[in-house]
């Protein structure tokens, strides 16, 4: 199995060193590494070039202002291997990550293998954010894991070709790509022991920038029914409860507060298998977690509003 590792990067000077060290530490190293820089304005490319010295199996491609999907496609096109591994910037690979993915593919004769991913929850803020933003783990082959992340995946090149590659979009392109794989009925396996650690936003500014951007681009792509619309319906219900509290009975305020507490409790206890969970941090999980949940919803609406506004302006421009 000749494995080509494809990594899209942009402005990752603070994390690319950790990623490169984890690639070098792999017990089964990729046969080649292809880094596609999508227009970094920081020292990311310099780090890559310094790490490239003396190595014959690393290729750096400068793709200017490409979105992640296009960057991955460029990397696969340049890859010489028939098996493609994907990961991203802001990631640290467990030393057995690629070995475990490759063994699972070989043993199961799979077309695609997805590994596990975990947050780098090294502050209370990140612990609360991880509980709010990340999907809970599910049982796979007797082990708990999060399923389906392109940043922790291995697939045959023929799979990428068959589904037409990744959509050229800023956000949601990975989910769209994986849905195409599901629809094409390829043999998919999961490997809980292939683990990556993902850097999540470190403060409110990073959270706002990430989620408003994701929201904007997902709305532009028409993917609002599984994210934006349910959030909107929930807040419309909250407005109704506030109105009932004003005009009917204050008990409806209690219903509203109870609903919020149930929502954050489901986030916390739905992720109760996380290694970073601490009983002593429970007040922070409830308080800061609730604040972050509402903050992410606000960023979602901001991105959606920006998308609607840009499309209205575009239509007016076309008409005029």
List pLDDT tens digits, range 25-64. Answer: 999 999 999 999 998 888 888 888 887 766 668 889 998 8
Write the pLDDT tens digit of every residue in 73-122.
999 999 999 999 999 999 999 999 999 999 999 999 999 999 999 999 99
Alpha-carbon gap, residue 89 to 48, rounded angstroms:
12
Alpha-carbon gap, residue 111 to 6, rounded angstroms:
17
Tokens coding 314: 């575009």
Domain extents for the chain? 3-198, 204-319
Query: How many C-beta neighbours within 10 Å does residue 62 have?
Result: 14
What pLDDT was estimated at residue 172? 83
Write the pLDDT tens digit of every residue in 296-306.
999 999 999 99
What pLDDT was estimated at residue 91? 95
Write the pLDDT tens digit of every residue in 249-262.
999 999 999 999 99
The whole model's pTM is what? 0.89
Which uninterrupted H or E stretch holds 311?
helix 282-319
Alpha-carbon gap, residue 15 to 36, rounded angstroms:
15
pLDDT of 171 over the 90 cut: no
Fold entry, domain 3-198? Spore Coat Polysaccharide Biosynthesis Protein SpsA; Chain A (3.90.550)
What pLDDT was estimated at residue 66? 85
What pLDDT was estimated at residue 54? 63
Predicted confidence band at 178 (pLDDT cuts at 50, 70, 90)?
A: very high
DSSP-derived letter for residue 259 is: H
**Start-to-end CA span in the chain (Å):** 57
Alpha-carbon gap, residue 109 to 183, rounded angstroms:
19
263 phi and psi, to 5 degrees?
-65, -45
Write the pLDDT tens digit of every residue in 231-243.
999 999 999 999 9
Predicted confidence band at 320 (pLDDT cuts at 50, 70, 90)?
A: low
Alpha-carbon gap, residue 198 to 117, rounded angstroms:
7
Alpha-carbon gap, residue 53 to 75, rounded angstroms:
20
| Residue ranges with strand state E in the chain | 3-9, 32-37, 58-62, 83-86, 91-93, 112-119, 138-140, 143-145, 153-156, 188-198
Q: What is the mean pLDDT of residues 177-183?
A: 94
Q: What percent of the chain has pLDDT over 90?
A: 72
Q: What is the mean pLDDT of residues 148-153?
A: 94
Q: Which residues of 71-80 are buried (b: 16+ CB within 10 A; e: fewer)?
A: bbbbbbeebe
Cα–Cα distances (Å) from 47 to 34, 60, 198, 202, in that order, read 14, 11, 19, 22
What pLDDT was estimated at residue 49? 87
Among 141, 146, 186, 145, CA closest to 163: 186
Which residues have C-beta within 8 Å of that of residue 307, sequence separation ≥ 6?
A: 215, 216, 217, 219, 220
DSSP-derived letter for residue 150 is: G
On whether the CB atoms of residues 133 and 200 are closer than 8 A, the answer is yes
On whether the CB atoms of residues 268 and 285 are closer than 8 A, the answer is yes
Alpha-carbon gap, residue 254 to 273, rounded angstroms:
30
Alpha-carbon gap, residue 74 to 62, rounded angstroms:
10
Beta bridge partners of 71: none
What pLDDT was estimated at residue 311? 84
What pLDDT was estimated at residue 272? 75
Predicted confidence band at 219 (pLDDT cuts at 50, 70, 90)?
A: very high
On whether the CB atoms of residues 35 and 52 are closer than 8 A, the answer is no
- Degrees, nearest 5: CA angle 166-172-176: 50
User: Between residues 216 and 272, which one has the greater pLDDT?
Assistant: 216
Q: What is the mean pLDDT of residues 168-172?
A: 82
């Amino acid at each position: 199995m000749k494995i080509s590792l494809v990594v899209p990067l942009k402005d990752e000077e603070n994390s690319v060193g950790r990623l490169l060290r984890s690639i070098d530490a792999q017990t089964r190293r990729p046969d080649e590494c292809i880094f596609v820089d999508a227009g970094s304005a920081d020292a990311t490319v310099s780090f890559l070039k310094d790490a490239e010295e003396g190595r014959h199996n690393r290729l750096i491609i400068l793709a200017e202002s490409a979105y992640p999907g296009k960057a991955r496609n460029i990397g696969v096109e340049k890859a010489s291997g028939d098996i493609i591994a994907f990961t991203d910037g802001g990631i640290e690979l467990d030393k057995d990550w690629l070995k475990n993915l490759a063994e699972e593919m070989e043993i199961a004769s799979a077309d695609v293998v997805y590994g596990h991913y975990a947050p780098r929850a090294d502050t209370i803020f990140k612990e609360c954010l991880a509980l709010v933003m990340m999907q809970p783990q599910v049982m796979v082959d007797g082990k708990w894991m999060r399923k389906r992340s392109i940043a922790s995946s291995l697939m045959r090149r023929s799979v990428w070709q068959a589904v037409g590659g990744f959509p050229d979009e800023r956000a949601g392109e990975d989910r769209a790509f994986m849905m195409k794989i599901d629809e094409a009925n390829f043999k998919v396996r999961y490997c809980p022991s292939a683990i990556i650690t993902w850097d999540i936003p470190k403060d409110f500014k990073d959270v706002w920038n990430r989620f408003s951007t994701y929201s904007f681009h997902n709305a532009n792509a028409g993917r609002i029914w599984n994210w934006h619309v349910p959030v909107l319906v929930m807040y419309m219900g909250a407005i109704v409860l506030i109105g009932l509290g004003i005009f009917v009975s204050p008990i409806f305020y209690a219903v509203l507060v109870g609903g919020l507490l149930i929502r954050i409790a489901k986030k916390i206890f739905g992720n109760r298998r996380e290694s970073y969970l601490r009983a002593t941090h429970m007040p922070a999980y409830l308080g800061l977690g609730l604040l972050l949940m509402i903050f992410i919803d606000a960023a979602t609406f901001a991105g959606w509003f920006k998308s609607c506004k840009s499309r209205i302006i575009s239509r007016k421009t076309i008409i005029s």
